[in-house]
Amino acid sequence: FTVLPGRDVSGATLALFTARLHRPDVTTHKAVLQAIIYQLDKAIERVETQRNGLIFIYDMINSTYSNFDYELCVKILNLKGAFPARLKCVFIVSSPLWFRAPFAVLRLFVREKLRERHNQAKNRYSDVLCLDHSRVKLGLIGSDEATDYINGSFMD
């Protein structure tokens, strides 16, 4: 996993995971996740990354089934839902046939996570992330689930 020094045309930071270099039989999930989190933490220190988000490139050129780790993919997807950076898009380069079935399952999970994202309109600043620690918890008004918090950045 590498955060590339360049950016795309919109200013987004590019993160590259080269599948053929991943060896699940040698490297633990903890080590891979620590490396990813460290590099992403360094990337989001830059204001440009906070504003323009991340693009994740999953390079599967010359990878084999032995390079693929389904459990690690699920953990990375869970990280995506909890990490305070905007993931603009994911590009999968040269996915082999054996990858397409598990990816279809993962894609359904990602769609579900996107459906769960609501109340984004309460954060009126695109460069201020809507994080749990900046939320002011409120009681529900009736059964409207969109009234249970306001982001601290929304208040003047």
Do 84 and 148 fall within a single domain?
Answer: no
Q: Are residues 126 and 106 in the same domain?
A: no
pLDDT computed for residue 17 by the predictor:
85
Rounded distance between C-alpha atoms, residue 86 and residue 77, angstroms: 13
Distance CA 23, CA 4 (A): 21
How far apart CA 124 and CA 128 sit, in angstroms, is 8
- Greatest pairwise CA separation for the chain in angstroms: 55
Residues 109 and 131 in one domain: no
Q: How many domains are contained in the chain?
A: 2
Give the domain CATH number at 75. Answer: 3.40.525.10
Specify whether 82 is located in the same domain as 135. Answer: no
Helix axes 97-116, 70-82, angle to 10 degrees: 20
Verify that 107 and 156 share a domain, yes or no: no
Structural domain containing residue 132? 118-156
25 with 65, same domain: the answer is yes
Segment holding 7, helix H or strand E: strand 2-7
Do 17 and 88 lie in a common domain? Answer: yes
Spatial separation of the C-alpha atoms in residues 56 and 138, rounded to whole Å: 35
Whole-structure pTM value: 0.57
Both 74 and 109 in one domain: the answer is yes
* Per-residue pLDDT of the chain in tens (156 residues, 90 and over written 9): 888 888 988 889 998 888 888 898 998 989 988 988 888 888 888 888 888 888 888 888 888 888 888 788 778 777 766 667 777 877 878 777 766 666 666 666 655 554 444 344 444 444 444 555 455 555 666 666 655 555 444 443
3 state DSSP class of 95: coil
